[in-house]
Amino acid sequence: MLLSGLTNTVYKILIIDDNIQNIFVLEDILSPLGNVYFSESGSNALALIDKIKPDVILLDIEMPDMDGWEVCRTLKANPLFSDIPIIFITGHTDPEFEKLALESGGVDFITKPFNASICCLRVHTQLKFRQQNQLIIKAKEELQQLVNQVPMLVTYWDDQGQNLFSNDNSGLWFDSLLGDVKGKHISTIFPNELSNAILNHHRHITSDALKYIVTVPQGIGASFYEVFQSKMKSSAGVDGYLVTVVDVSEVKHARQALYSEKERLRVTLNSIGDAVIATDTKGMITFMNPIAERMTGWRLKEALHQKIENVMFLTDSNTQQKLLNPLYLALREHRIVAMALNSQLTSRGGHVFFVEDSAAPIRNENGEVIGAIMVFHDVSEAMAMAMKMSHLANHDQLTDLPNRILLQDRLTVACSAAKAYDTKAAALLIDIDHFKYLNDSLGHQYGDELICLMAKRIRSLIPTSYTLARLGGDEFVILMSETRSVEASSKLASKLVDAMHEPFALDGQKYNVSVSIGISVFPNDATDAEELMRHADVAMYRAKQEGRNRFCFFSHDLEHSIMERHHLETRLRKALINDELFVHYQPKFDLRTNEIVGAEALVRLVNDEGEFISPAEFIPLSEESGLIIMLGKQVLNKACAEAKRWLDKGHIIPISVNVAAAQFADPDLACVIKEALLNNDFPAHLLELEITETALMIDAADMQNKLSELTSLGIKIAIDDFGTGYSSLAYLKKFNVDVMKIDMSFVKDMLNNKHDYEIVKTIISLGKSMGLVLIAEGVETEAQRHALIELECFMGQGYLFSRPLNTSDFETFVIQKKLQG
């Protein structure tokens, strides 16, 4: 084709035959020529043709529903399919059938049985014919499109000046070309000046194009046309002249205006307020206007042919590092280049200007870069003013905090960052309770002072990475960005509410102020910054409705969870401060004799209604909140005191106390234990610390030293919940421990689960080999007790013997056991 070129065509061949055997034979023969499709009926084939658009059709004449003649006539009557070549296939050899096939629109005829080579050649010939026809049609279309799109008037005339062709029939060039102008004389179509010039050149024209320009007056001006005229002979043998016309009026007018433009440019450059410096392609100065002379301190005659960096000394205003002049970048990359931010120019006399603007390449009429121009101006005053205006536009005038505009921008950035890094962003909307009453009663001056004091106090309570903004009136917003914990917003809100209980001093008087805070978390509560703020506002009003002096989350479910956690932490802190923790004791037994051989101290906490809170809830919370060390210390002291009281009554009962990983890592643990023993006058050998194997493996070498330090006090060490962690036996055998406790999860199913039984058996064997005392937890049935005795584990605890008991019940239980014994 003219423009598109030849393509590697994969032909599509459609076989229409009600005999599937014929189809298989033809498919085998024709598959090397392209993709073969088939249909066993004429009616189905019509729908398939529209779908696959075949390049050739092999059509059986005799078919039950529609015979080949009817299918062929239907296709030829449809303009979409009429050009598809149809080759008839039949078992008849009568010439009449071939005649009918050709008359109905078929292009060839194949008889059965099929001769593979002849069949393949016939189909291949039709495919090639179709491809060539399509190429010719496409070439004609592309040629016509090309001629129609060229930005010139293309015409063809006979020797008498009669028109044979024009690519403009819409009157784009001349109104007289509108419509069909074929056969019209050139003098009736072109302006007189143009038609006369073309006719006068007819007798001098050869096959080589003659080029000349014709001026056509128009009103107060003129149009200029460049004409290309050559002699040619058409394929039909008609002599004629090819004439192309190009409108060069703009070029002519531009050249006429160039001189006056240059003069106007010179005057402009010398009178504008911007500095202008031009250079050649090597950065050598070729021009400077008076403003550039003043700002650089160089006269033009001195600066000519000097490097621009010698005349225009640029540095970074922050670092004072020398900057590359952007003119060189404009020369290298052939584009407009803006000056770097914070650029300053130091003049020859040492005066400093903050400057900005740009450099651009200078091109000649051929588009070639012949130099560059630098345009810049002094922005020292504008820069200072812009910074001031930007600050005023983005900050609250009273508190100098970010205002709503800046907050919105930071909210958007925070939400995008949270989404990108799978973190969270939280907005805390703070509103001063009853501020209108305070403002009206104290006066606006003191109201403003209170707002400033409030801003200062809030600012002191939050990290510098958080944004504190004032929305106006008595509303503040804290933006917590890139936080991973929802609880962090709860803790901050709680701290803010509590901090407001400290009175504010206004004119020597103290005023108590409370706040209501609404919290919304992205992405939990909102999908964007706008929704985040809207939901924080809803949550804040809910805090108002619920009595003020509090905070609320937007999400009810999340708020419920967070508030429960907050209440639990508050209750735990209160219990620790007021010494309200309870300790229950679960006795340990000799499995053979049912004698009490010790007790495990277990901490208990009650809620405000006096109901027990599960240790599974408050123990993890105490670890997360850092309260576990204080909690452990209280439990240790209570257990030692109680065990000492029993001892004084003649009940010698070793007591074991659980030690969390955080407690065990505490460098003061040995001192805490020593103090508890001394304060309660409790024998060290009756105290046992239960430490999980996971805690021991945090830093095995350090833990070994810690264990040695603890055992030197005379106390015993037990490994709690053995088998649930990931101990390395190589380290375990080095640990200085006395007791190994088998976790209840294995004991529970040891008689029902072969694997658990083997685990218990292995743990007992391991403990015996290390010379450790073995205690089984969670013993609930007599069968479990007997099984443990058979495995030579002789100590245990569990509901078979007793659940954890309070101090009074435990003492009664001990006395009863002694009486029974």
Tell me the pLDDT tens digit for each residue of 480-489: 988 887 888 9
Average pLDDT over residues 296-310: 93
* Span 444-472, average pLDDT: 92
Q: Which fold has domain 11-146?
A: Rossmann fold (3.40.50)
Residue 59 has which token pair? Answer: 């059509």
Q: What does residue 230 show for φ and ψ, rounded to 5 degrees?
A: -145, 155
Helix (H) or strand (E) holding 597: strand 596-606
- Kindly report, as residue ranges, where domains of CATH 3.30.70.270 are found in the chain: 395-554
More confident of the two residues 58 and 100: 58
The mean pLDDT of 59-82, rounded to a whole number, is 85
Instruction: Considering the chain, tell me which residue range(s) the CATH 3.30.450.20 domain(s) occupy.
Output: 150-253, 277-384
Concatenated DSSP letters for 17-53?
-S-HHHHHHHHHHHGGGEEEEEESSHHHHHHHHHHH-
Judged against a pLDDT cut of 80, whether residue 771 lies above it is answered with yes
403-435 pLDDT per residue, tens = 999 999 999 999 999 999 889 999 999 999 888
- Note whether 49 and 23 are within 8 A (CB): no
Alpha carbon 813 to its chain centroid, in Å, reads 64
CA distance 478 to 493: 10
Q: How far apart are CA 656 and CA 689, in angstroms?
A: 6
pLDDT at 166: 80
* Residue 552 host element (H or E): strand 550-553
Q: Which residues of 528-566 are buried (b: 16+ CB within 10 A; e: fewer)?
A: ebeebbbbbbebbebbeeeeebbbbbbbeebbeebeebb
pLDDT of 235: 57
Are 549 and 433 within 8 A, CB to CB? yes
Q: Residue type at 300?
A: L
List the CATH code of the domain at 150-253. 3.30.450.20
Closest CA to 663 of 696, 639, 685: 696
Does residue 745 have a pLDDT over 70?
yes
Residue type, 34: G
Contact 359, 372 (CB under 8 A): yes
Greater model confidence, 452 or 207: 452
pLDDT tens digit sequence for 6-23: 556 788 899 988 888 888
Cα–Cα distance measured from residue 352 to residue 327, given in angstroms and rounded to the nearest whole number: 20
Question: Mean pLDDT for the chain?
Answer: 86
Identify the bridge partners of residue 11 per DSSP, sorted by sequence position: 34
CATH number corresponding to 578-820: 3.20.20.450
Mean pLDDT along residues 134-148: 69
CA dist., res. 520 & res. 428, Å (int): 7
Q: Which CATH class is domain 395-554?
A: alpha beta
CA 75 to CA 78: how far, in whole Å? 5
Which pTM was predicted?
0.45
277-384 CATH fold: Beta-Lactamase (3.30.450)
Q: How confident is the model at residue 728 (pLDDT cuts 50, 70, 90)?
A: very low
Task: List 353's β-bridge partners, or say none.
Answer: 345
Q: How far apart are CA 737 and CA 667, in angstroms?
A: 19
Based on its alpha-carbon atoms, the radius of gyration of the chain, rounded to whole angstroms, reads 49
Residue 379 near residue 341, CB atoms below 8 Å:
no
Residue ranges of the chain that CATH labels 3.40.50.2300: 11-146
**Cα 50 to Cα 14, 44, 55, 81, 289, distances in angstroms:** 12, 11, 12, 8, 73
Q: Which has the closest alpha carbon to 589: 801, 743, 750, 738? A: 801
Taking the C-alpha atoms of residue 566 and residue 494, their distance in angstroms, rounded to an integer, is: 9
CA dist list (Å): 745 to 265, 677, 724, 753: 94, 33, 9, 11
Position 329, amino acid: L
Spatial CB neighbours of 360, under 8 Å, sequence gap ≥ 6: 330, 335, 336, 337, 372, 373, 375
Instruction: Take residue 795 and report the two structure tokens written for it.
Output: 């100590």
Mean predicted confidence (pLDDT) in 21-46: 87
679 pLDDT more than 50: yes
More confident position, 193 or 776: 776
Q: What per-residue confidence (pLDDT) applies to 669?
A: 92
Alpha-carbon distance of 676 to 669, in angstroms, equals 11
Q: How confident is the model at residue 670 (pLDDT cuts 50, 70, 90)?
A: very high
329/331 Cα distance (integer angstroms)? 5
**Which among 330, 357, 219, 198 has a CA at the least distance from the CA of 276?**
357
What element of type H or E holds 568?
helix 556-577
Taking Cα atoms as reference points, which of 445, 491, 466 lies closest to residue 401?
A: 466
* Rounded Cα distance, 198 and 193, in Å: 9
Helices (H), 226-342: 249-271, 290-296, 300-303, 308-311, 326-333
pLDDT in tens, 527-536: 999 999 999 9
Cβ neighbours of 505 (radius 10 Å): 11
**How does residue 241 score in pLDDT terms, banded at 50, 70 and 90?**
confident
Strand order in the sheet with 163-166: 163-166, 153-158, 239-247, 221-233, 210-218
Measure the CA angle with vertex 27, ends 26 and 28; round to 5°: 90
- pLDDT tens for 279-302 read 999 999 999 999 999 999 999 999
Please name which of 507, 528, 512, 517 lies closest in space to residue 474, comparing C-alpha atoms: 517
Cα distances from 775 to residues 103, 606, 654, 772, in angstroms, run 106, 29, 14, 10
Half-sphere exposure of 493 (CA within 13 A, CB side): 33
206: CB partners within 8 A, 6+ apart: 230, 231
